[in-house]
């Protein structure tokens, strides 16, 4: 809820009631018609709110209320489908990230005009491989990059994305655990530091490639390298002499962990 909202006592009481997990359905239904959007949104998020009340709220005109509906585990497929056609992109985005989204809606929203909606779909655990393949050709780099990083993306599609002209897309591929080692080796000398940083953090990167990256001049690459448990001591030793004190400390700690894995360095 917006931090700058000023509420009178009546609104405060209504909000408390709307958030109450033990509130009756009669109370929630009454509050679903409250004049304040934040009260209606609280009703929409209430885990005990019935599907019928959520259906009623789906006719609300405030996108914040409609988005809140998608966060409720009781939301039905019918309501989600209705919201997926809302003209407000923020509402469709909320549907795209909803944990209750159906495969049917994922396939429909893959054609949505809003790039943020399409981007959200890639994070869905149950996204069909065919949708990933379709989105791999998306015009927006953030979407191609997300597809490139997804572990379900087929290798042949991933390989196509590794030669993408945009560095963000290649960076996504460089972080993919399924990225072939020969491509990771090629990526380790990429002109875009984001791609090299992806190689530095990838657990599938060859140890010799990780060791060579210790000579990289970019701090993000070296930090990722120091955090990678596969980075050999040879590479970490170089980083302990880095001009950046944070990187040097990270590398020193990583060496200690490799030498004495039985020690709990968190101090717990």
Dihedrals φ, ψ of 30, to 5°? -65, -40
Dihedrals φ, ψ of 201, to 5°? -100, -10
Mean pLDDT of the chain: 94
Alpha helices by DSSP H, listed for the chain, are 9-19, 25-31, 37-45, 51-57, 63-69, 77-83, 89-96, 103-109, 115-121, 129-135, 141-149, 155-161, 167-174, 181-187, 193-201, 207-213, 219-227, 233-239, 245-259
For 186-244, how does the pLDDT look when each residue is reduced to its tens digit (9 = 90+)?
999 999 999 999 999 999 999 999 999 999 999 999 999 999 999 999 999 999 999 99
Nearest one of 169, 168, 173 to 184, comparing CA atoms: 173
Per-residue model confidence (pLDDT) at position 9: 85
| Burial tier of 98 (Cβ tally within 10 Å: 0-12, 13-18, 19+) | buried
Neighbours of 233 (CB within 10 A): 14
For 38-89, how does the pLDDT look when each residue is reduced to its tens digit (9 = 90+)?
999 999 999 999 999 999 999 999 999 999 999 999 999 999 999 999 999 9
Please answer whether residues 75 and 100 qualify as being in contact, where contact means their C-beta atoms are separated by less than 8 angstroms: yes
> CA 80 to CA 58: how far, in whole Å?
9
For 121-141, how does the pLDDT look when each residue is reduced to its tens digit (9 = 90+)?
999 989 999 999 999 999 999
Radius of gyration in angstroms for the set of CA atoms belonging to the chain, rounded to a whole number: 24
| Burial tier of 82 (Cβ tally within 10 Å: 0-12, 13-18, 19+) | middle
Tell me how long the chain is. 268
Largest Cα span, the chain: 68
> CA 202 to CA 190: how far, in whole Å?
15
Dihedrals φ, ψ of 265, to 5°? -80, -5
Per-residue model confidence (pLDDT) at position 268: 46
What is the distance, to the nearest Å, from the Cα of residue 115 to the centroid of all Cα atoms in its chain? Answer: 14
Q: What number is the average pLDDT over the span 244-261?
A: 94
């Amino acid at each position: 809820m917006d931090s700058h909202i000023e509420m009178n006592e009546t609104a405060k009481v209504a909000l408390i009631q709307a958030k109450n997990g033990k509130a009756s359905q009669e109370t929630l239904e009454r509050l679903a018609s409250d004049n304040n959007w934040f009260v209606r949104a609280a009703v929409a998020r209430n885990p005990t709110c019935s599907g019928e009340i959520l259906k009623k709220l789906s006719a609300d005109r405030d996108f914040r209320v409609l988005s809140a509906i998608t966060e409720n585990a009781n939301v039905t497929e019918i309501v989600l489908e209705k919201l997926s056609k809302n003209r407000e992109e923020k509402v469709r985005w909320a549907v795209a990230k909803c944990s209750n989204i159906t495969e049917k809606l994922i396939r429909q929203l893959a054609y949505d005009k809003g790039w943020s909606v399409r981007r959200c779909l890639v994070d869905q655990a149950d996204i069909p491989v065919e949708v990933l393949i379709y989105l791999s050709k998306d015009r927006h780099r953030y979407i191609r990059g997300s597809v490139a990083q997804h572990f379900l993306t087929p290798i042949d599609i991933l390989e196509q994305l590794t030669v993408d002209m945009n560095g963000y897309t290649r960076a996504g591929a460089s972080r993919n655990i399924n990225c072939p080692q020969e491509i990771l080796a090629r990526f380790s000398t990429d002109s875009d530091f984001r791609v090299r940083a992806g190689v530095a953090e990838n657990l599938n990167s060859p140890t010799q490639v990780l060791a060579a990256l210790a000579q990289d001049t970019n701090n993000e690459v070296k930090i990722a390298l120091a955090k990678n448990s596969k980075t050999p001591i040879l590479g970490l030793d170089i980083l302990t002499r880095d001009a950046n004190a944070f990187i040097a400390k990270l590398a020193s700690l990583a060496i200690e962990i490799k030498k004495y894995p039985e020690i709990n360095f968190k101090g717990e």
